[in-house]
Amino acid sequence: MGKIKEIHNATKDKILEIAGRFFVKHSYRGVSLGMIAEKVGIKKASLYYYFKNKEDIYFGSLEIILDELNVVVEEVMKRDIPSDKKARELIIAFINFSVKKEKFIRAIIQNFPVKKRQMKRFFKIKQKRDNMVKIIEPLMLDCIGPKGKKMDLKVATYILIGGLNMIMEEHIYSEDKQEIDPKLLADKFYEIMFVR
């Protein structure tokens, strides 16, 4: 039974990987289940064994990217280093992840859910994001200092992540892509967010 489950998971992962690449290349609307099935090497009807529909595949791809980012964040947060260095390393890790996953993140941004039922599904994604924010909040408190005790750390963490996303959009996700130095950017960002 273990071998069958292993094959099932490998096929599901392959579907999500190929679909993710297609969403990047063709956008959500430009991808059909037939295209995905053909590239995976299975019949279109077999996709329904793994996923309900294309939307389910899209959100599965999105969940994977967030899970990967959570692993990166947790790895940095576990390091036994001073808070200022940890904050800089977290920013650098976020930038490097964004650069590595640039095309897929751009596809996510372009295909952001708008329908009511999609927003319900997006709630699971939001929960994953909120869990990541909770992991980062103690570091925010350490870096902000005594003022942080009076501050809404969740909002402060969203500002940090949102600011990084805006920079990534400007420098990496746009058509007018620019080279950036993650360490230099982390230092600048740290100064703006934490140095008073």
pLDDT at 192: 84
pLDDT at 177: 64
Task: Find the mean pLDDT for residues 25-38.
Answer: 87
Where exactly does CATH 1.10.10.60 map onto the chain?
1-51
pLDDT at 47: 92
pLDDT at 67: 87
Q: Spell out the CATH class of 54-194.
A: mainly alpha
Contacts of residues 27-34 at CB distance under 8 Å and 24 or more positions apart, as own/partner, are 27/107, 27/110, 27/111, 28/54, 28/58, 28/107, 28/110, 28/111, 33/57
Task: Find the mean pLDDT for residues 120-141.
Answer: 85
> How many Cβ atoms are within 10 Å of 56's Cβ, its own excluded?
14
Q: Is the pTM of this model over 0.85?
A: no
Q: Which residue has the higher pLDDT, 183 or 2?
A: 183
How sure is the predictor about 72, in pLDDT bands with cuts at 50, 70 and 90?
very high
| % residues pLDDT > 90 (the chain) | 27
Where is average pLDDT lowest: 71-75, 80-84, 143-147? 143-147
Task: Tell which residue, 56, 37, 65, has the closest CA to residue 117.
Answer: 56
pLDDT at 26: 79
Where exactly does CATH 1.10.357.10 map onto the chain?
54-194
Q: What is the pLDDT of residues 150-169, one digit of tens each?
A: 888 888 888 888 888 777 77
Q: Which residue has the higher pLDDT, 102 or 145?
A: 145
Q: Is the pLDDT of residue 99 over 80?
A: no
For domain 1-51, say whether CATH 1.10.10.60 is its number.
Answer: yes
